[in-house]
Structure 1
Amino acid sequence: MDEGGLLGGKFLFKKLPDGLLDKTRVRCTICKAEFRYHRSSSSLAYHLRAKDPTESASTGPRQSTLQEYGARGRITKNVREKLTNSLVVWIAKNCRPVSIVEDDGLREVIRAASGDVCYNLPSRGTIVSRLHTLYEDQRAQQSSKLVQVRNVALTGDHWTSVNNDNYLGVTAHFIDNDWTVQSFALTVSKTEERHYAEACADHFLNVANEWKIKDKVTTLGTDSARNMVAAARLLPFEHMPCMAHILQRTVTVSLNDSAFERALAKCRKIVGHFKHSPANAQEFQHTFFVFILHLLHCKTSCCSLFNSLVSLV
């Protein structure tokens, strides 16, 4: 109720000669008719609808119907589709398990963010189907890019998972018509054979034939493992060993043949001793602080400090 009026000022209380308001009578500001007021505006709203429907539509909010209340705050179909597609891309790019769509916490997060308290995550079957569709779409896009180029370089390697399964990963590299370097994975396939040179060479040929780029491949990059080097000799591609792998092997062999290996062995022993025991780690923090103070005050050499630390292990 507005001050001195009802229904948004459409009805005003009758003013008495002394300036006070008569709260038992109201006057319509549209037709100037007077009505008795019994603390209920239902009859006044009926008068507005009968005399001036356009004015009655602006008297204030009406009570929502059951259908309107159920649809309030619900996610639309288009937004729901965008959420499902975003979930599929997230699962694919971040290697999340498909079962994450059954996570109650994720559902509550989306409900809180969207304001839809009735939102439910898509089922596993929907996610798996969308994943297959996403894979086929991405594969078609990558295939169209490979058709437009003349030369392609491949890099690949065999690796073993935590479950002791063997996989082959192959990546394509090329420069497109805009002189932009493009790189994307062609396959990460599980292999059952032993990684002999002939088997490795067949795997690379199968990938090239599957993507129809055998005649476009000019270079194959691998590590310097003996089976990979032998496999490259069996293929009609130029072999380019991985420089990062060569550098790592050079550093490893150099350290193994030097006197510095003894210092590294002691360092590994120290780290292992304190890493696997919280009590030892806490003791190390206290002891290390004492050693630093001793070094500053007594000017102890670094070698004696290191030997003292080793003696604790």
Structure 2
Amino acid sequence: MTAAARLLPYEHMPCIAHSLQRSITMAIRDSGLENVLAKCRKLVGHFKHSPANSAELRRQQEESGQQQEPLIQDVSTRWNSTVSMITRLLRNKDAVRATLELHQQRSTPAMLTNAELEKIEKLEILLEPCRYVTELLGGEQYISCSVVLPALCHLFRVMEGSDDDPGYVLRFKAAFTSDLSKRKESTNVQWLKVATALDPRFKDLKCLPRSEREGVWKSIKEESSQQSEPHRETEPDPTKKKMSLLLAASDSDEEGDPASDMSVDRYRGEPSISIEDCPLKWWSGHAGAYPSLAPLAQKYLATPATTVPCERLFSLSGHILQKKRAALSTDIVTRLVCVSNWLKEKK
């Protein structure tokens, strides 16, 4: 599939959420937090695999006045499940400790120590911005491609080390920043830069160094000038063909299209819109003022930042098409997926 995708005449945009998850996995391994996470998984599995233990946990939650909720087991293929497991375990640590003390058996796992609880509390703080960015870029009801570079800039700023950080936190931040920087370079960065510039919310390009901003606007001017060029006839007459040779011999192409340059400059002078506003609606209302830029905005801003919406549909199809329902036709499965998705959006 990867080799076939390279042959397609389309720009490729890797899934940013997948890259982010891989960086988190590498940082956890390099920071030495894998052992405490393995202990957390063993604790959660002790309650997930035993109805009696789960019932006792619910009783302890009720006695302490907490909401009755099950623990969450993290899965490597399910993004943000690690931070969800940590958050749920920390919220119910007293009920979990009380339940384990009631059933002291050889197979009963040991409760996390105070030092280990402090470690996963620090890890929760580290992973919370990553969860926020993943959920932000995984939406399907709004523009996400232009948010990638501002979101990554936010993560790099959050992951800066400080003197108060313990050693394992510094190692996590260093490993995460290094790995994510390498993965960022392997993405289609130029496409992301243009998409960010064509978003009226982020067109100031504060997420980029000052030395790179003018290069982005220059590429937009070049592409918008190609959009504004009139379509040539397939077979021009000899007279027009000879005249076109004179234009080809001149250096006017190097000067660019003044109209497109002015259009880009006028767009840069427009006030930025609110973060809650939709950039496509803005471009729809300003398409007449920027006829060469509006098609570019539709082209770049329509690109999804992640494959999360597609994978949600794959998971939904897997729940519908099970072994006992293997005789469903393709048309019926498609209709069931559509109906389920529409009902979810309606709720």
Q: If the length of structure 1 is used for normalisation, what is the TM-score?
A: 0.22
TM-score by length of 2: 0.21
Select the structure of larger CA radius of gyration: 1
Q: Higher relative contact order by CA 8 Å / sep ≥ 6: 1 or 2?
A: 2
